[in-house]
């Protein structure tokens, strides 16, 4: 009877603890509606247009231009970048190949875990869709590794193969970045001293004591709850649950094997 009560209590505790862990795995929420979505794109890394995750950015450009955007990504997130290029209705000389590249704060090109990063549009196609899902952003990594780390990420969109007659034709683009919270399965021991945000290392000791607006940082966007916000993960929850279940299993095993505490037969006296 006591073992049944212990198992019931463990099940209730497991259900209560799993609830926040499930909530952590939901996709990131869209930013507040008071933040207007950008309607232009930069032409280099330094002039990249900043966008929030969940925003639908748009831009008008000419075929052959390099279009740049930047967005923040924190530890435990798996960003997915999606872009749509609406091609001109005028007749084109041939097919066009468009490519979507993602770089981290050190301008290292990041590999796509899956998604159509390069797509060729036929001569009569009206649009082309591209996508890139990055690997999960890690809180820390070895210096020689190429793992995604917290900080600013850059998106570059351009046509990589087209006829000379098609250069300069007008196009319109749409870009959106969303992230999935991976949780404790991607947690690592350690963290960066500073996120990979361009310009953050140029802040002097005097500027660190001044207001944040005076800091010499080239990117102003950051996660809503601050950098390294993923220090808490469901790995803590599952570790605690495992310890509790192990303790209950030990108590239950002892209760089953210790017997009644007295011999089954009382020896007869001589």
- Specify if 241 maps to a domain: no
Residue 250 within any structural domain of the chain? no
| Domain assignment of residue 51, yes or no | yes
| Residue 238 located in a structural domain | no
Distance CA 49, CA 57 (A): 9
Considering its fold, how many domains does the chain have in total? 1
Q: Is there a domain that residue 10 lies in? A: no
Write the CB contacts of 130 (distance below 8 Å, at least 6 apart in sequence): 82, 83, 84, 85, 98, 99, 100, 115, 116, 117, 118, 119, 157
Give the Cα separation of 157 and 117 in Å (integer). 10
Q: Indicate the Cα dihedral angle 158, 161, 165, 166, nearest 10°.
A: -40
Domain residues for 143? 27-183+220-230
Q: Could you read off the pLDDT tens digit of each residue along the chain, which spans 270 residues?
A: 444 444 444 444 444 444 333 333 334 434 444 468 899 999 999 999 999 999 999 999 999 999 999 999 988 899 999 999 999 877 788 899 999 999 998 899 999 999 999 999 998 899 999 999 999 998 887 878 888 999 999 999 999 988 888 999 999 999 999 999 886 655 666 667 788 888 665 544 445 554 444 444 456 676 766 666 545 556 566 667 778 888 888 888 878 887 655 555 655 655
120: enclosing H helix or E strand: strand 118-121
Specify the CATH number for the domain of residue 45: 2.60.120
The CA distances from residue 251 to 170, 215, 232, 256, in Å, are 73, 57, 30, 9
Residues 110, 155 contacting (CB under 8 angstroms): no
């Amino acid at each position: 009877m006591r073992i049944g009560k212990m198992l019931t209590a463990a099940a209730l505790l497991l259900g209560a603890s799993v609830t926040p862990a499930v909530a952590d795995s939901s996709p990131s929420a869209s930013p507040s509606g008071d933040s207007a979505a950008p309607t232009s794109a930069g032409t280099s890394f330094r002039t990249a247009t900043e966008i929030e995750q969940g925003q639908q950015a748009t831009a008008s450009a000419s075929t052959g231009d390099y279009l740049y955007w930047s967005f923040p990504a924190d530890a435990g997130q798996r960003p997915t970048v999606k872009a749509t290029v609406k091609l001109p209705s005028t007749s084109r000389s041939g097919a066009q190949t468009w490519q979507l590249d993602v770089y981290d704060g050190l301008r290292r090109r990041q590999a796509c875990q899956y998604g159509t990063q390069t797509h060729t549009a036929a001569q009569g196609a009206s649009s082309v869709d591209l996508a890139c899902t990055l690997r999960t952003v890690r809180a820390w990594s070895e210096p020689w590794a190429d793992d995604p780390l917290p900080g600013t990420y850059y998106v570059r969109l351009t046509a990589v193969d087209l006829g000379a007659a098609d250069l300069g034709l007008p196009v319109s683009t749409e870009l959106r970045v969303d992230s999935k919270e991976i949780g404790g399965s991607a947690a690592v021991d350690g963290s960066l001293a500073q996120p990979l945000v361009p310009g953050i290392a140029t802040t002097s000791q005097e500027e660190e004591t001044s207001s944040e607006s005076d800091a010499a940082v080239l990117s102003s966007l950051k996660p809503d709850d601050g950098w390294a916000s993923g220090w808490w993960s469901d790995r803590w929850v599952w570790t605690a649950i495992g310890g509790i279940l192990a303790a209950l299993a030990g108590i239950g095993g002892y209760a089953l094997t210790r017997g009644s505490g007295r011999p089954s037969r009382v020896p007869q006296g001589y």
